[in-house]
A and B are shown apart, each in its own frame.
Chain A
Amino acid sequence: MKLKEIKAIKGKIIIKTGLHIGSGNMEMQIGGTDNPVIKHPFTQEPYIPGSSLKGKIRSLLEYYYGIVQEAAKSEDFKNSGGLATPKMLKNADGEIKNHIKNILKVFGAGAGETDENLIIEIGPTRVSFSDCRLNEDFKKQAEQNHWSYIEVKSENRINRITGTAKDPRFIERVPAGTVFDFEVYFKVLDDEDEKLFEDYLLKGLKLLELDSLGGSGSRGYGKIEFQFDDEALKNKFNSLKLWG
């Protein structure tokens, strides 16, 4: 196993519907919302943490390759949280075992893993997601137009017996139309890794476009689009088929 290449994917993430990646409320601010989005502590500009992208893509791939479905068959794994884990790898067989191993190769097995044979077999985590900052051209456009990088969405719940509204809440979102830069690096350690790049990383990005990023994806939030700087990669991504 030797580092043959580090592939870089660079481009933009276009927010298609309001994005909410929550930050938790560290302190009470007068006039602040209950549900702020994550912001850089110095600039107060929203950003997309690499961990949010990585976690969501990993989870979607686990569904896509049938690992979640497999885990659901066993009570032990059903409630265990992370699915493509070294523990599940030991218990799985056939095609599923292969997918779990590949996900561990691409996304990592966790720092707590102590099985030396497994660590050697899997090798270093191939993918590395950077935090995504606001795109500079978009920032210029936003400054010229005096745009805020945050919108506040008010929501409530309807009591379906009395018809009255309840549980009013205010949720911060990064508005549709915001542009972030993104960078993902992928280490190629042996010839098979070329296949992992396409089948796990690129397909993962494609699955994310069809799903959503951040919170409340089931009710409208977090649709995104990737735009790649590299023309060849863009064509490859567009022609990727997930099903059929």
Chain B
Amino acid sequence: MLYEIKLHILSPVHIGCNECYTPTEFVIDVDKSIMIHFDLWQFIKTLNDKEWKEFENISEKDTVACLVQLYRFYSKVKEKVKGRIISIPKELAERYREVKQLNDEKEILKKFNEFEIPRTFFNPYTQTPIIPGSSLKGSLRTGYLDKTLAESPDKENLIKNADPRNPEQLEAKILEGQMSTDPFRLLKISDLEPEGQVKTKVIYQINVNKLKDNIRSTLSIPIEVIPEGSIFKGTVKLDSLIENSDIKKPFDFKSLLTKVHAHYAEIFNREVDLRKNKGFRRPLIEQFKNELKIKYFLIRIGKHSGAEAVTIESVRKIKIRTAKGSIWDKTPTTIWLASQNKKPANLSQAIPFGWVMLEVVNADTL
């Protein structure tokens, strides 16, 4: 059976791809708080002889200071720079202005690290973001495992024997299969591409203690995200089970999504409770409410989904670092939020990462 799906992005999503924006390929327009990401080869073609000479001189230097000179040069010719526009926090734009004034090498290196901005997964030809099928499939699998274990008649035994060093064994027991007999091999999820134009943006990822009032500002790092309001589309194919197959525990798409929704809705509701104390923003799900669990299913994907979203509730063991070493606990003590400010006075503009509403377009076939 083939299903068309859409992902409605409810809060910022970052899918890691091990790549950062390199300082040679962007310029920041401080006044507009935007980053222009350009193709270096196309840019070079636009330079006149004098500019080319200057660019060449900077490129041939082997000092740290040449990084600042490059920034100054880019800013000088920024009218010529054509590329993809990415909105950035005002504070980061200001930091760029400061970096351009620096002369001290140590200081330059330190400040430069702030512009190591991790990119969200993208198509290298079009530079547009992609949500890989692997990310979505992993999230669906976690939700399904969590609720299947919760309903298992052998629950107590499975929980007692769960080994954190061998999580695959627990998964195999819950699914009653492994590798060729794993029911998830019947589920084929495509990579998802943007519907219409999706403009990524840069925000700060801030780490907030759930209990205390402080914000750990040392852990406020910029990151590129897919913003809320974006929509991605793709397909899901669920192969039918062959009679006499060794896959013992197949599922249909509706029951998979129902369990997945139940897993993530619990975490969502806990965040709503936490919000009452911390005051951060809540992803808006009202427009989907009438057809929730019928056509729309809540999930969470990508970086900073939080340890609770990516683990099985009854066996969860989270390593928590304390002043005296580390301890194991059921729930993490901090939460990561997406924020426009590096160290906001309050969290009213900040929002948790990774919330997505999965829509089954042809839900009548579920």
Contacts and interface: CB of A to CB of B under 8 A. Distances in A.
Interface of A: 16-18, 63, 68-69, 72-73, 78, 142, 145-148, 151-155, 158-164, 170, 175-178, 210-212, 216-221, 223
Given A69-B243, A210-B2, A161 B189 contact: no
Given A218-B184, A220-B234, 13 more contacts: A68-B242, A69-B242, A145-B125, A151-B124, A153-B132, A159-B167, A160-B170, A161-B311, A162-B167, A163-B307, A177-B126, A218-B185, A219-B134
Interface stretch (B62-70, B251-259, B270-278, B312-320): B312-320
Nearest to A157: B138
B171 interface: yes
Listed from nearest, the 7 A-B pairs whose CB atoms lie closest are A220-B133, A163-B307, A17-B191, A219-B134, A220-B191, A154-B18, A161-B164
Interface string B112-142: 0000000001011110001011101110001
B98 interface: no
B311 A163 contact: yes
Contacts of B132: 153, 219-220
Q: Which of A63, A78, A158 has the most CB of B within 10 A?
A: A158
Contacts of B235: 223
Given A68-B242, A69-B243, A177-B126, A159 B134 contact: no
Q: Which of A151, A160, A170 has the most CB of B within 10 A?
A: A160
B162 A221 contact: no
Q: Which of B132, B137, B145, B193 has the most CB of A within 10 A?
A: B132
B345 to A, nearest CB: 31
Contact of B188 (A16, A145, A211): A211
Chain A residues touching B, majority SS: loop
A208 to B, nearest CB: 12
B245 A72 contact: yes
Q: Which of A78, A155, A218 has the most CB of B within 10 A?
A: A218
Contacts of B242: 68-69, 72
B244 interface: yes
A218 B244 contact: no
A36 to B, nearest CB: 16
Given A78-B244, A158-B142, A159-B167, A218 B124 contact: no
A17 B133 contact: yes
Nearest to A78: B244
B250 interface: no
A155 B166 CA distance: 19
A73 B245 CA distance: 9
B33 interface: no
Nearest to B315: A161
Contacts of A78: 244
A217 B188 contact: yes
B137 A218 contact: yes
Nearest to B132: A220
Contacts of B18: 152, 154, 170
B88 interface: no
Given A154-B16, A177-B123, A163 B316 contact: yes
A72 B243 contact: yes
Contacts of A218: 133, 137, 184-185, 187-189
Nearest to A16: B190
Nearest to B184: A218
A176 B133 contact: no
B190 A220 contact: yes
A145 B39 contact: yes
